[in-house]
């Protein structure tokens, strides 16, 4: 439709072309929305989680694209993908604000219907965590009966994380990193090393020389900052909805989420600020 067209003049014959609904498969998208009860707020609960899964899919895709470029030795182009990740994370975090309009009584009106279903079982969330470097083999448990989910997650568990690939770029720039860092057990979460901190200090003390690495480091901080905000909002949403009751899926609920706040993905990028 051109700027001079009226709504009545807009294209209306879709027998030979895609309509808006056809292109986006709106019918398929909305058909996945099946509340199990008549409770008013179950619709909200499902909507927020559906939308979050869509954002997670985009985040995983953009992380993979950035990591592919880092593997190829490219440092600047991944910044665009990581910026998109940050914006998508913001949308996911804002979704908790919508869910917080649901009171404890609202939630309990349908909580019984979904049994042991839990966000802990989200394969896309787990993939995002694995790509970012938060890893434990035990986290694969909920996916053992789904080879289509378990296989890719197992592969990601044993592949370099976003930070591992970043550290390889650090070493490729001439900054010395020890074998125990570059050849570490990738299936475990990274816990930090003094030599890596020393390398990042060199970058932050001479940003002109290491500008691309410096920009990449700051973008990683953006990603982790938003990851922490999402987790914090998740915690407060759970606390105001169910308090400290056990969560679905066998977790300890708010207690589990509170402990998860201590997770640090890129430790030296935070420590470098204290040591500059």
The answer to whether 221 and 83 are in contact (CB under 8 A) is: no
Which residue is associated with the tokens 């990683």?
220
Cα separation, 63 vs 76, whole angstroms: 14
pTM of the model: 0.91
- Looking at per-residue confidence, does 261 or 123 come out higher? 123
Point out the least confidently predicted range of 100-109, 225-234, 248-257.
248-257
Cα separation, 190 vs 65, whole angstroms: 21
The answer to whether 41 and 106 are in contact (CB under 8 A) is: yes
State the virtual CA torsion across 252, 158, 190, 248 in degrees, nearest 10. -10
The pLDDT tens digits of the residues spanning 94-132 come to 999 999 999 999 999 999 999 988 888 999 999 999 999
The pLDDT value recorded for residue 191 is 94
The pLDDT value recorded for residue 18 is 86
- Tell whether the model's pLDDT for residue 243 goes beyond 90: no
The pLDDT tens digits of the residues spanning 31-47 come to 999 999 999 999 999 99
- DSSP, collapsed to helix, strand or coil, labels residue 72 as coil
- Tell whether the model's pLDDT for residue 1 goes beyond 50: no
Buried residues in 111-131 as b, exposed as e (16+ CB within 10 A): beebeeeeebbbbbbbbbbbb
- Tell whether the model's pLDDT for residue 206 goes beyond 50: yes
Domain residue ranges of the chain, discontinuous segments joined by +: 16-164+182-275
Name the residue among 120, 118, 96 with its Cα closest to residue 235. 96
User: What is the CATH code for 16-164+182-275?
Assistant: 1.20.58.480
The answer to whether 189 and 162 are in contact (CB under 8 A) is: no
The enclosing H or E element of 179 equals: helix 179-182
DSSP codes, 244-271: TSPPGGG--THHHHHHHTT--SSHHHHH
The pLDDT tens digits of the residues spanning 122-181 come to 999 999 999 999 999 999 999 999 999 999 999 999 999 999 999 999 999 999 999 999
Distances (CA, A) of 243 to 107, 159, 235, 238: 12, 37, 10, 7
Residues belonging to the chain: 276
- DSSP, collapsed to helix, strand or coil, labels residue 155 as helix
Name the residue among 261, 171, 153, 267 with its Cα closest to residue 213. 171
The answer to whether 53 and 121 are in contact (CB under 8 A) is: no
The pLDDT value recorded for residue 6 is 58
């Amino acid at each position: 439709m051109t700027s001079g067209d009226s709504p009545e003049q807009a294209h209306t014959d879709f027998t030979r072309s895609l309509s808006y609904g056809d292109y986006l498969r709106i019918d398929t998208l909305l058909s996945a929305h099946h509340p199990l009860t008549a409770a008013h707020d179950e619709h909200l609960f499902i909507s927020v989680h559906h939308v979050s899964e869509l954002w997670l899919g985009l985040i995983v895709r953009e992380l993979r694209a950035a990591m592919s470029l880092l593997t190829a030795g490219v440092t600047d182009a991944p910044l665009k993908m990581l910026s998109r990740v940050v914006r998508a994370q913001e949308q996911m975090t804002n979704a908790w604000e919508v869910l917080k309009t649901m009171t404890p009584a609202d939630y309990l009106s349908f909580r019984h219907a979904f049994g042991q279903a839990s966000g802990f079982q989200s394969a896309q969330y787990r993939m995002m965590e694995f790509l970012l470097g938060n890893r434990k083999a035990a986290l694969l448990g909920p996916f053992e009966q789904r080879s289509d989910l378990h296989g890719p997650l197992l592969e990601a568990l044993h592949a370099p994380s976003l930070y591992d690939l970043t550290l390889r770029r650090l070493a490729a720039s001439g900054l010395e990193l020890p074998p125990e860092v570059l050849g570490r057990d990738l299936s475990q979460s990274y816990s930090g090393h003094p030599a890596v901190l020393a390398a990042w200090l060199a970058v932050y003390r001479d940003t002109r020389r290491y500008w691309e690495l410096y920009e990449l480091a700051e973008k990683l901080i953006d990603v982790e900052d938003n990851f922490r905000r999402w987790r914090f909002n998740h915690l407060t949403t759970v606390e105001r909805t169910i308090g400290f009751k056990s969560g679905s899926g066998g977790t300890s609920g708010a207690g589990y989420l509170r402990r998860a706040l201590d997770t640090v993905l890129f430790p030296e990028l935070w420590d470098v600020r204290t040591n500059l």
